[in-house]
Structure 1
């Protein structure tokens, strides 16, 4: 697998391609390239997420964490044209494809960039993610802790994780960290997890003497 898709500057020689994202409410032709996640087809987990999550908030800041070339971010932007969608990734080649795909789709409400390019004050009304499980457990936990902490009051996160890559153990870890998490759906070997910090806040409020 080599460096896979985690490198800031992928070493794999560029070989541009394209894939189709076809959902009930949209059809996008997306530019891809080697050295990024799932360049030959839209990943099945991503499709499961996009087919099953509730509509994103109509306004506010929304985040696609680990955006790659942008199928999740662009779907959010299409479904919520009055929102601002941020796509964050470490892979600069993937981010370039994401920007090109947004321009091709005529979506001017999406911003692709490295994590440090998102203003620190921005808080997210929703986070959707097919997180990079293969970065390793510690790196994944640090990544999720950092960005889940930036949900705005009432915000929710939806994560899709393959069952045999640890979706159930990730759910237990999230719960142990104080992030109430439920399994929204299970399909084709993937779990969609809904993380709702407001549940913890409400519970803590009820338990306060």
Structure 2
């Protein structure tokens, strides 16, 4: 059943679309989900922590939802910041189709769904919000961070939610060791929200390879 994992490019799970409601303190979204995408039945607890406790963007600029799935992060920020371009990036083609459908249904014209290699090479993001796929393994995760933290504006921030029991603290240490200034923004219900910044010298930029 490996082909049905949400982090594969073309899930083989039989399509079974359903509607869910994402209710946050400031917004409620009716979203379509499907088999073969992350947390299709309800909003993932880590994603909820991120959406309810991460701060607004520190600087202006496009917003990136890295590993967007069916789009709860991208669509929430597109609703909160209707004048900002919001990109949802994922390797899962079914997830990208759902993000596009949900954006259309919500009449959010500021959302763009894209595969990692389809993001313009010169696009710089003001903010990244992500519930990263820790379970894909350290090698893939590290490659993702090198690639996408290098796409942040110099004063930009990436807000990453990671479960404490899945190595949030060691992940933060790795980011700092790699030269990405990273702090724990807050801890809620066993999840850490980490705030990471690009390397001061820009050495982390690697836009030519990696995955979402």
* TM-score relative to the length of structure 2: 0.90
On the 8 A contact 1:69/1:98 being kept in 2, the answer is: yes
Tell me the equivalent position of 1:52. 53
Tell me the equivalent position of 2:2. 2
Tell me the equivalent position of 1:27. 28
Number of residues of Structure 1 aligned to a counterpart in Structure 2: 200
On the 8 A contact 2:22/2:31 being kept in 1, the answer is: yes
On the 8 A contact 1:37/1:68 being kept in 2, the answer is: yes
CA RMSD of aligned residues (A): 1.4
Tell me the equivalent position of 2:19. 18
The CA distance in 1 between the partners of 2:185 and 2:52, in whole Å, is 12
Matches within 5 A, 1:140-151: 140-151=141-152
Identify unmatched segments of 5+ residues in structure 2.
Answer: 202-212
1:81 equivalent to 2:59? Answer no
Matches within 5 A, 1:1-209: 2-3=2-3, 4-56=5-57, 59-197=60-198, 200=200
Q: Which has the larger radius of gyration?
A: 1
Divergent runs of 4+, >6 A = none
On the 8 A contact 1:59/1:82 being kept in 2, the answer is: no
On the 8 A contact 1:8/1:92 being kept in 2, the answer is: yes
Identify unmatched segments of 5+ residues in structure 1.
Answer: 202-209
Q: Which is helix-richer, 1 or 2?
A: 1
* TM-score relative to the length of structure 1: 0.92
